[in-house]
């Protein structure tokens, strides 16, 4: 059903002259859009996310911000193509880096600082 919905949406948007792009969305709901790091989900209400800064938001809303940010960061060539992570530069490829979040677009200099996990 998911693929049918994707195809139908793509076709309907093309009818009115729009273009669709696919974004690698894995992990977008586990990172805070404000760049504060990984989120913690509430055990009683899984859709509620608590950021490292203490703010509480809807996890799906944060994920949608991050998906949009991944697309824009990809178009600005700030991230790698398939996984939405920040470019590795000359560092070793095994080094974990923070995935692109909305905060990346607020401060482009933050794109080149590795996230300490």
Is residue 14, in this structure, part of any structural domain at all?
no
Residue 88's pLDDT is what?
Answer: 54
Report the alpha-carbon distance of residue 83 to residue 26 in Å, rounded.
8
Into how many domains does the chain fold? 1
What is the token pair recorded at 69?
């940010």
Is residue 9, in this structure, part of any structural domain at all?
no
Label residue 43 exposed, middle or buried (CB < 10 Å: 0-12, 13-18, 19+): exposed
Residue owning tokens 């994707």: 6
Is residue 103, in this structure, part of any structural domain at all?
yes
Please tell me the pTM assigned to this model.
Answer: 0.68
Tens digits of pLDDT across the chain (117 residues): 989 999 999 999 999 999 888 888 888 888 888 888 889 998 999 999 999 888 898 999 999 999 988 888 888 877 665 555 555 555 555 445 567 778 777 765 544 444 444
Is residue 31, in this structure, part of any structural domain at all?
yes
Residue 115's pLDDT is what?
Answer: 46
Is residue 16, in this structure, part of any structural domain at all?
no
Is residue 6, in this structure, part of any structural domain at all?
no
Give ∠ CA 99-65-72 in degrees, rounded to 5.
70
| DSSP-based three-state secondary structure for 116 | coil
The parent domain of residue 81 ranges over 21-112
Residue 87's pLDDT is what?
Answer: 54
């Amino acid at each position: 059903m998911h693929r049918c919905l994707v195809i139908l949406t793509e076709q309907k948007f093309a009818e009115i002259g729009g273009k669709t792009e696919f974004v690698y969305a894995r992990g977008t709901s586990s990172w805070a859009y404000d760049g504060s790091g990984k989120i913690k989900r509430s055990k009683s209400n899984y859709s509620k996310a608590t950021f490292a800064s203490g703010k509480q938001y809807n996890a799906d809303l944060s994920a949608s911000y991050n998906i949009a940010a991944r697309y824009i960061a990809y178009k600005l060539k700030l991230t790698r193509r398939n996984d939405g992570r920040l470019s590795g530069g000359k560092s070793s490829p095994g080094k974990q880096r923070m995935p692109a979040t909305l905060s990346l677009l607020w401060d482009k200099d933050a794109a080149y600082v590795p996230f300490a996990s």
